[in-house]
Structure 1
Amino acid sequence: MTKTTEDRAPYLVWPKGKASWQIRDKRRYISTGATRKPDADAALFEYMKRRDEDAKKAAAGSMASTTLRNILDIWADKRKRENPGTWERKWQYIYKTIYGKSGKMLLHAIDQKWAYWYEQERYEDGVEESTVRQELSTVLSAWRLARNSNPPLTDLPVPELDLPPSSDPREHFISRADAGRLIAAANKDYLRLFIRLCLATGGRHTAILQLTWSRVDLESGTIDLRNRSDRETVVERNERGRRKRAVRQKPRAQVRVEGLILEELREAQDRAASPFVIEHSGKGLGSVHRGFKAAVIRASLDPDTVTPHVLRHSAITWLMQDGEEIYKVAGFAGHSSARMIEKVYGHHHPDFQTSIAKRLAQR
Structure 2
Amino acid sequence: MPEWRLTRLRGEFCIAWEDERGQRRRYRLGTADAKEAARRAPARYSELTRPTGQNVAELWQAYTRDMEGRAVVETMRHTWKALEKRFGPMEAEAITIADCRAHVEERRGLRTKRFPKGIGDGTIHTELGHLRMVLLWAKKHKIIENVPAIERPAKPEAKDAYLTRIEVKALIEAAKTPHIALAIRLLIGTGARIEAALQLTWDRVDFARGMIQLRNPFDKARRKGRATVPMNDALKEYLKTAKGEAMTPFVIEWAGEPVKSIKRGLKSAGAAIKRPDVSPHMLRHSAAVWLAEDGHSMWEVSQFLGHNDIKTTTRVYAKFSPTHLRKLADSLSV
Match for residue 346 of structure 1? Answer: 318
Residue 273 (structure 1) aligned with residue 247 (structure 2) = yes
Match of 2:155 among 166, 169, 183: 166
Q: 1:149 to 1:296 in 2, by over 3 A?
A: same
Q: 1:121 to 1:261 in 2, by over 3 A?
A: closer
Tell me, in whole angstroms, the C-alpha distance in 1 between the residues paired with 2:122 and 2:278: 22
**TM-score of the aligned structures, taking structure 2 as reference length:** 0.68
Amino acid of the residue matched to residue 345 of structure 1? Answer: Y
Deviation for aligned residue 1:252: 0.8
Q: Deviations over 1:21-46 (max 9, x none)?
A: xxxxxxxxxxxxxxxxxxxxxxxxxx
Query: How does 1:123-202 map onto structure 2 within 5 Å?
Result: 123=105, 125=107, 126=109, 128-130=120-122, 133-134=125-126, 137-138=129-130, 140-150=132-142, 152-154=143-145, 156=146, 158=147, 164-202=153-191
Query: How does 1:99-110 map onto structure 2 within 5 Å?
Result: 99=87, 104=90, 107=93
Q: 1:139 to 1:205 in 2, by over 3 A?
A: closer
Q: Deviations over 1:102-128 (max 9, x none)?
A: x54683x66xxx425742663265255
Match for residue 7 of structure 1? Answer: none
Deviation for aligned residue 1:217: 1.7
Tell me, in whole angstroms, the C-alpha distance in 2 between the residues paired with 1:98 and 1:210: 35
Tell me, in whole angstroms, the C-alpha distance in 1 between the residues paired with 2:176 and 2:103: 48
Residue 329 (structure 1) aligned with residue 301 (structure 2) = yes
**TM-score of the aligned structures, taking structure 1 as reference length:** 0.63
Tell me, in whole angstroms, the C-alpha distance in 2 between the residues paired with 1:202 and 1:342: 16
Match of 1:318 among 266, 281, 290: 290
Amino acid of the residue matched to residue 298 of structure 2? Answer: I
Asked if the contact 1:71–1:146 (Cα under 8 Å) also holds between the matched residues in 2, the reply is: no
Q: Deviations over 1:141-176 (max 9, x none)?
A: 4443333224x421x4x5667754321123332111
Asked if the contact 1:130–1:166 (Cα under 8 Å) also holds between the matched residues in 2, the reply is: yes
Match for residue 44 of structure 2? Answer: none
Tell me, in whole angstroms, the C-alpha distance in 1 between the residues paired with 2:261 and 2:122: 29
SS of the equivalent of 1:306 reads: coil
User: Where does structure 1 lack aligned partners over 5 or more consecutive residues?
Assistant: 1-65, 232-245
Query: How does 1:1-363 map onto structure 2 within 5 Å?
Result: 70=55, 73-82=58-67, 83=70, 84-90=73-79, 92-96=80-84, 98-99=86-87, 104=90, 107=93, 114-115=96-97, 118-119=100-101, 122-123=104-105, 125=107, 126=109, 128-130=120-122, 133-134=125-126, 137-138=129-130, 140-150=132-142, 152-154=143-145, 156=146, 158=147, 164-229=153-218, 231=219, 246-302=220-276, 305-354=277-326, 357-358=329-330, 361-362=332-333
Asked if the contact 2:104–2:153 (Cα under 8 Å) also holds between the matched residues in 1, the reply is: no
Tell me, in whole angstroms, the C-alpha distance in 1 between the residues paired with 2:207 and 2:328: 45
Q: 1:98 to 1:324 in 2, by over 3 A?
A: farther
Amino acid of the residue matched to residue 330 of structure 1? Answer: S
Q: 1:249 to 1:131 in 2, by over 3 A?
A: closer
